[in-house]
Amino acid sequence: GMTSVLMSAIGLPVCLSRAPQPTSPPASRLASKSHGSVKRLRKMSVKGATPKPEPEPEQVIKNYTEELKVPPDEDCIICMEKLSAASGYSDVTDSKAIGSLAV
């Protein structure tokens, strides 16, 4: 192929062989298996499914929100400060106080 032509052009001896083609099962047997199982699954899901009433959006929010009286004693995964400690920009040191040697 083209690779052997290019390789031989720069003076390298080239002997490339083709990889054997993988053998696969007959397409008719494979296709009938997969299609039959897909059809069976679709029929089962349609017959067995009973529509559930949609919950109200407020109820969904209530299910997933919980007010904590005491914050957990864990570290923040981003800044690694205690979650129980107050956070914000007020306690950040002034950039003038940090010298160029500290960087």
Beta bridge partners of 82: 75
pLDDT in tens, 87-102: 777 655 555 555 566 5
In a domain, 86, yes or no: yes
In a domain, 7, yes or no: no
In a domain, 41, yes or no: no
Q: Please work out, in degrees rounded to the nearest 5, the angle formed at the alpha carbon of residue 77 by the alpha carbons of 75 and 81.
A: 40
Which tokens sit at 33?
């298996």
- pTM of the shown model: 0.21
In a domain, 84, yes or no: yes
Whether residue 82 is predicted with pLDDT greater than 80 in this model: the reply is yes
Residue of higher predicted confidence among 58 and 24:
58
In a domain, 70, yes or no: yes
Residue 84 near residue 71, CB atoms below 8 Å = yes
Name the one residue in this structure whose structure tokens are 């959006």.
57
How would residue 81 be classed by pLDDT, with cut points 50, 70 and 90? confident
Name the residue type at position 54: E
Q: Please work out, in degrees rounded to the nearest 5, the angle formed at the alpha carbon of residue 55 by the alpha carbons of 52 and 61.
A: 145
Total count of domains within the chain: 1
CATH number at residue 71: 3.30.40.10
For 63, the domain range is 56-90
In a domain, 80, yes or no: yes
